[in-house]
Structure 1
């Protein structure tokens, strides 16, 4: 099954190609077996953004319930090797393998069953939803759904924006983020920027860095004192980012504005 987006040069989830030997070593290290269907897609591409944006979930009485998903992990970092850390950090279920997530929700293989079920875990409520009885069935249920009418517009309320910022749609997050960069409620906006500096998506963090770089003078000279403290925390967080380009951009901001 061809699931990968191949024309996105800055895909943060696309890792170096791997072979069967690397997959076998990964399985030995984590003492588990990847489903054959998972191994096949990794041999085509080692993780990345997928052509789909949702999967139809099982376990619901209602019809047409879909969960958002836009990437699948490969073997490496960020990827399947992060699963033990994520389980500990977010107090997730044991005996699972996390293969997608953004901090507020996770898709994982539940290795307590054979074959492993695909489950969806809400981080806050700890609700577990059975999505598919196997990874192969999960792949068959991937689909592309047009954004709901709620999001097909040029402006969003703050409540809608906050919901989007806490989700997994990185392109939508970027769009909403940029639409609010001229807001008069600077403190609210910077608080959300600060939250997004911890986002797992490189695209989102790059968008935050871009907003800071373009609007730094506006934020510096128009912000109340509490907002300036948030601004400095944002710049400090980005200065430690995994991306050297983001770190370099923030260094330039610090030097130019003596921060």
Structure 2
């Protein structure tokens, strides 16, 4: 009997109990053999929060000099399981052959099947820095190396450095490229004065350094298309379109989000693709679990329905249907 690695909690990553049929479906989908040690822990609990929340890293990461945080391990299933892998690979432009079992956008942990069909090494992926680093030779070694990071670490909400307006403007004045590359995504995801920040990004969208321009475009597409003032957003996109680098790609991605139609929503939901949208400062996720379809925020199910059709037809926003308020909705992902 394998010792349980799981916290005694019921979080969003805990899926329905694992069956041999689900395992077979996943291995056929990915055309690989999943690690026995991974299957073993999932037979105890199909995904969730591990007791040990950290793993050593040979390189500095966004969390510290010597470790990565393991906030969750995905189980096998749809929604918050590895069967949604293709969506994230495409959305974040990650290498084919990775199966992501931890992460939420900017950083990931993954089985690396690029050069293997079984016993894959475990890698840490930093999307913003475009780095992929091996941290364990296999998943069994990964499990053995997990440990509890010190008690002062804020596991529930990892705090990043808080940049002030003055600091950020000083980075621009001093041409401090390294600090700008770290500060831009942190501010984009935080509680920031959006009018001020949007104008700073407009300035930086014409910056001499391509890496800074790319980070501006990535952050706008990833975190700000549903938050920025439309006038600033359109000005940014025009600058991205005129760039002579891969920044142009982010203009197209941002426009896809801005022009996302109700018909596209229906199509994506019927294909069971992961969808999120914002309405009046609330981000809703469309997901399926417990034999129902749900509109959820980050913490709970806000509206639940017995079918996709009921969700599309009966969900209400300020007394109006989803289709009626669609012109006021912005796609998040």
Fold-level similarity (TM above 0.5): yes
On the 8 A contact 1:105/1:122 being kept in 2, the answer is yes
* Gap regions ≥5 residues in structure 2: 169-181, 199-218, 233-276, 287-293, 304-314, 329-333
RMSD: 4.6
Q: Offset at 1:124?
A: 2.1
Q: Which has the higher contact order (CA 8 A, sep 6+)?
A: 1
1:25: which partner in 2? Answer: 25
Residues 59 and 66 of structure 2 are in contact (CA less than 8 Å); yes or no, is this contact kept in structure 1? no
TM-score, normalization: structure 1?
A: 0.63
Name the CA distance, whole Å, in 2 between partners of 1:148 and 1:42: 26
Residue aligned with 2:142, SS:
helix
Correspondence for 2:68? 67
Residue in 2 that maps onto 1:81 = 83
Match of 1:144 in 2: 148
Contact 2:59 2:65 in 1 (8 A): no
Distance 2:85 2:317 in 1: 32
- Distance change (3 Å), C-alpha of 1:13 and 1:162: farther
* Change over 3 Å in CA distance of 1:52–1:84 after alignment to 2: same
- Give the direction of change, closer, same or farther, for the CA distance of 1:195–1:6 in structure 2 (3 Å limit): farther
Instruction: Say whether residues 1:127 and 2:131 are aligned partners.
Output: yes
Go from structure 1 to structure 2 and tell me whether the alpha carbon gap of 1:124 and 1:17 turns closer, same or farther (over 3 Å shift). Answer: same
Q: Quote the offset at 1:106 in angstroms.
A: 1.0
Deviations 1:202-248 (A, max 9, x none): xxxxxxxxxxxxxxxxxxxxxx9989xxxxx8425746422535455
Give the distance between the partners of 1:141 and 1:81, measured in 2 at CA: 26
SS at match of 2:85: helix
Partners of 1:165 and 1:195 in 2: how far apart?
Answer: 12
Aligned twin of 2:104: 102
Shift of 1:67: 0.9
How far apart are 1:115 and its partner, in Å? 2.2
SS in 1 for 2:279: helix
SS in 1 for 2:101: strand
* Number of aligned positions between the proteins: 214
Per the TM alignment, residue 56 of structure 1 is displaced from its structure 2 partner at its CA by 0.5
In structure 1, distance between residues paired with 2:92 and 2:6: 28
Structure 2 CA distance for aligned equivalents of residues 97 and 13 of structure 1: 16
Of residues 295, 299, 312 in structure 2, which corresponds to 1:244?
A: 295
Q: Tell me the residue number matched to 2:279.
A: 235
Q: Is it true that 1:117 corresponds to 2:121 in the alignment? A: yes
Q: Secondary structure at the match of 1:17?
A: coil
Relative distance call for 1:161 and 1:148 in structure 2 (3 A) is: farther
Larger radius of gyration: 2
**1:40 and 2:37 matched:** no
More helix by share: 1
In the superposition, the TM-score normalised over structure 2's length comes to 0.50
Note if contact 1:54-1:67 (Cα within 8 Å) is conserved in structure 2: yes
Cα distance change of structure 1 residues 48 and 152 upon mapping to structure 2, 3 Å threshold: closer
Q: Residue 188 of structure 1: CA displacement?
A: 6.8
- How far apart, in 1, do the equivalents of 2:56 and 2:25 lie? 32
